[in-house]
Amino acid sequence: MPYLSPALNVMVAAARKAGRPLIRDFNELEHLQVSMKGPADFVSSADQRTEKILIEELVKARPGYSVFAEETGAHEGTDKTHRFIIDPIDGTTNFLHGVPHFCISIALEREGTLVSGVVYNPVTDDMYVAEKGHGAYLNDKRLRVAARKELPQSLIATGIPFMGRGPDSERKRSLKEVEAVVSRTSGIRRFGSAALDCAFVAAGRFDGYWERGLNAWDIAAGVLLVREAGGLVTDLNGGSDVLKGDILCTNEALHPQLLKLIRDAGK
């Protein structure tokens, strides 16, 4: 059984409560009110309601904790040492197209260090949890990153900037990186949810994952999952400040190989 601290129990309960109406919305997509937040960047009534439920549940259980959420930004609490980082639906485009690959992502920072993480896909009822120093789990199963040591046998995930996200130069660089990686591995997947990509690395389903231009809420919980599953997470310069947006996560054997391949592709 996974170790669940009181705070992680609160996070799991909040994710499950917010997930129930999300399943109903997913099954009634034609009735969903959808507005445009930007080209190919959708925000839905489901997104907004999910975030509202999460914040209400988390703050009720942990009054004073700060919150940093995708839709409503920063909510400063009286407790400056703790912060929840929330993505109500990571994989919104999948959700809005009826693709059952999206999740609720919640992380907890204590004094700037990630200590608890939840990634929950309500459609599949897959609950990924991690607690600093206590491992990562999918439901009741302990997770470990894959043990492959060579790129030709590896399956790698990524994200590619879509319409309206970033300049053309960023997209061209991403495509160069994809071309380099696909030529040296057994395949690339682009599934559309950064949090679940990280969770799949933690579970050993993907051997690695990289992406540029993300937000902290996209990956905070996933970063902790990978680390607690024995993986290595850095930015694309090999540094540790991954919540600023660029990420590479894999096992220790593949990490230097994949990092060099990606960096060389961008030159």
Q: Which of 99, 133, 95 is nearest to 117 (CA)?
A: 133
CA distances 50 to 80, 92, 260, Å, are 24, 12, 39
**Three-class secondary structure of residue 251 per DSSP:** coil
87 is in an annotated binding site: yes
218 is in an annotated binding site: yes
Whole-angstrom distance, CA of residue 91 vs CA of residue 85 = 16
Per residue in 114-146, is it b (16+ CB within 10 Å) or e — as a string? bbbbbbbbbbeeebbbbbbebbbbbeeeebbbb
What is the pairing mode between strands 135-138 and 126-131?
A: antiparallel
CA dihedral 81, 62, 3, 120 (to 10 degrees): -100
Residues annotated within the binding site are 70, 87, 89-90, 218
Residues annotated within the binding site for Mg(2+) are 70, 87, 89-90, 218
